[in-house]
Structure 1
């Protein structure tokens, strides 16, 4: 009886072990089937797209499997699994959503104003510009101004380069004169020379004289005549820009030196050094001399006198904010509604150009 009982217990234990062994074999077989199925699917699908939940699940299961077997078990490379895991860790410790918003960005208009101030005032540093903004009521840190200038390629320190020639001449314009010759060929192919002088500040031009034979003595006398005209208008100047033409002799320079005017000679073959005078000569050719035939010296004198009067009193200039030289001295006119007025046209030089005025 006892022996029979031991036999039955032993058989059941051995049966249980066999069942357990069969279950392990079955699991291994099932895993082999699944792996082979994955291999077949990979051959058919070029690229598998995984959802965030898939990446999460693979990354979690990777901690339960030895790393040396990752290439056999998972459908992605070990490097990809590690990247997914690092992203999960980074996301866990990411507190950016809880951060308070930082300093708001500087408005585009303020940035533009900072750059404009730096351009208009080359010696201003970032702290000087900051003070100007604070004075206007805008609170801004000096470091912010520094960053704006630095990002624009402008040295934030106050030791920037000096003013350009345009800036220098603009600040000195009211005390500068420029002079040069313009030549004109008459209808009989005789060459005449007109000496033109221009004030930089107001762009007012003067005819110093017209001659067929410009000598040093004639040029010096023409300088005396034009200085008398300037003295009547109580105009004071410090500099005269001229080229190195031999007709500008020492006697010519002495006439201006006696009035306290310093002579500035432009470099050889450098017309841009006397650009304003060159510009008016080009203007005379485009608007007058290329559109009319000159008969003789007297005709040229009358023509230039008439045109320069029109130019000084009625012709607007971009350099003067579209004012005439006369308005640049007295100030712009009061705004009016032209629809309420009648406009009168006045022909100049026989209709070569016109002036327009409000009829009285």
Structure 2
């Protein structure tokens, strides 16, 4: 270092004031060029700041024209901090941290209850923990990325489905074009879908989906679900005019609560809509439908395949009503049966019987 700076110091020492001004101006421009090759922000260590303070404070306000590594305001802050000795590094976590066990308890209460800061404090007080403030609870949750109480406790549609999924069913209609002796006609079908298991029950089709037909199909659905351990307790549906007062009364008489969805909210019955899209794309779109009997056969076949053989991501890639099979390590192709469905349109695979 001394060999590099010695000629420069000797030159400055022997120069006049006019020459010194020229040297400084040159060094300022050279420094600007060098700084342009460096990152926008340069972080200095404590020792480096002390060196800059040692030579910069004696310059007074002239330092504002010379300093470029930091802003003049930052240099002034260094001077103020230096008067009180070496500043202590700030603790980004805010003072002395609470024991890990207490932090885990706060997080557990927040996640399992959805409580806000004040109610979490109340739960801790009941457990005998007094030396913790509301701000500390807030800091702990903030560090873990847990939102404040109002954002977590506000109920969502997904949370509602989780609570009621086993007994909550969706209901919807869809139509299919069919070739009949009277020309092309629309045939209507009614779908009931369990929102947790994704099991589907699909009715017979009709050209005239009046109130009597809707009630008849609803009674058939109720009859199919009567012997179950977990029976339907609520059915959600849109505000289609085919859901008449007779339909509502039919459900109530069987102890099932009808729940009309808000206007213009198709996503709330999205699982039922998704099944309708699936049966249309994977089955009905592959055929020209010839009349009611043909359509009913295709729907019956696909619904049976869907419930017992078609995997579903929401069911951990298992069919809606199939139990989890025993896990095995090896299975040769010779031990697997290929089962065709709907005339070979789709296939499923099963183990051969032992």
Do they fold alike, i.e. is TM over 0.5? yes
Instruction: Work out the CA distance in 2 between the residues paired with 1:124 and 1:89.
Output: 39
Are the aligned partners of 1:130 and 1:141 in contact in 2 as well (CA < 8 Å)?
Answer: no
Question: Does 2:19 match 1:37?
Answer: yes
Instruction: Work out the CA distance in 1 between the residues paired with 2:212 and 2:293.
Output: 20
Question: Does 2:243 match 1:243?
Answer: no
1:303 shift after superposition: 0.9
Three-state SS of the structure 2 residue aligned to 1:210 is coil
1:224 to 171, 195, 219: 219
The 1:87–1:210 alpha-carbon spacing in structure 2 relative to 1, beyond 3 Å, is: same
- Partner residue in 2 for 1:193: 188
Instruction: Work out the CA distance in 1 between the residues paired with 2:81 and 2:154.
Output: 56
What are structure 1's unaligned runs of at least 5 residues?
Answer: 1-30
Corresponding pairs, count: 302
Listed one character per residue, the Cα deviations across residues 278-324 of structure 1 (whole Å, up to 9, x for unaligned) are: 12111111211112221111111111111111111111222222222
Q: Normalising to structure 1: TM-score of the pair?
A: 0.67
Question: Does 2:265 match 1:257?
Answer: no
Question: Does 2:352 match 1:352?
Answer: no
Instruction: Work out the CA distance in 1 between the residues paired with 2:116 and 2:51.
Output: 58
Residues 55-94 of structure 1 correspond to what in structure 2 (within 5 A)?
A: 56=54, 59=57, 87=79, 90=82, 93-94=85-86
- Partner residue in 1 for 2:300: 305
Higher helix share: 1
Are the aligned partners of 2:114 and 2:149 in contact in 1 as well (CA < 8 Å)?
Answer: no
Instruction: Work out the CA distance in 1 between the residues paired with 2:174 and 2:150.
Output: 44
Instruction: Work out the CA distance in 2 between the residues paired with 1:91 and 1:48.
Output: 33
The 1:156–1:335 alpha-carbon spacing in structure 2 relative to 1, beyond 3 Å, is: same
Are the aligned partners of 2:109 and 2:120 in contact in 1 as well (CA < 8 Å)?
Answer: no
Instruction: Work out the CA distance in 2 between the residues paired with 1:40 and 1:201.
Output: 82
Question: Does 2:173 match 1:181?
Answer: yes
The 1:157–1:245 alpha-carbon spacing in structure 2 relative to 1, beyond 3 Å, is: closer
The 1:215–1:91 alpha-carbon spacing in structure 2 relative to 1, beyond 3 Å, is: same
1:176 shift after superposition: 1.4
Q: Which has the larger radius of gyration?
A: 1
1:199 shift after superposition: 1.6
Instruction: Work out the CA distance in 2 between the residues paired with 1:232 and 1:85.
Output: 79
Q: Normalising to structure 2: TM-score of the pair?
A: 0.68
Instruction: Work out the CA distance in 2 between the residues paired with 1:177 and 1:128.
Output: 36
Instruction: Work out the CA distance in 2 between the residues paired with 1:221 and 1:170.
Output: 30
Q: CA RMSD in A?
A: 4.3
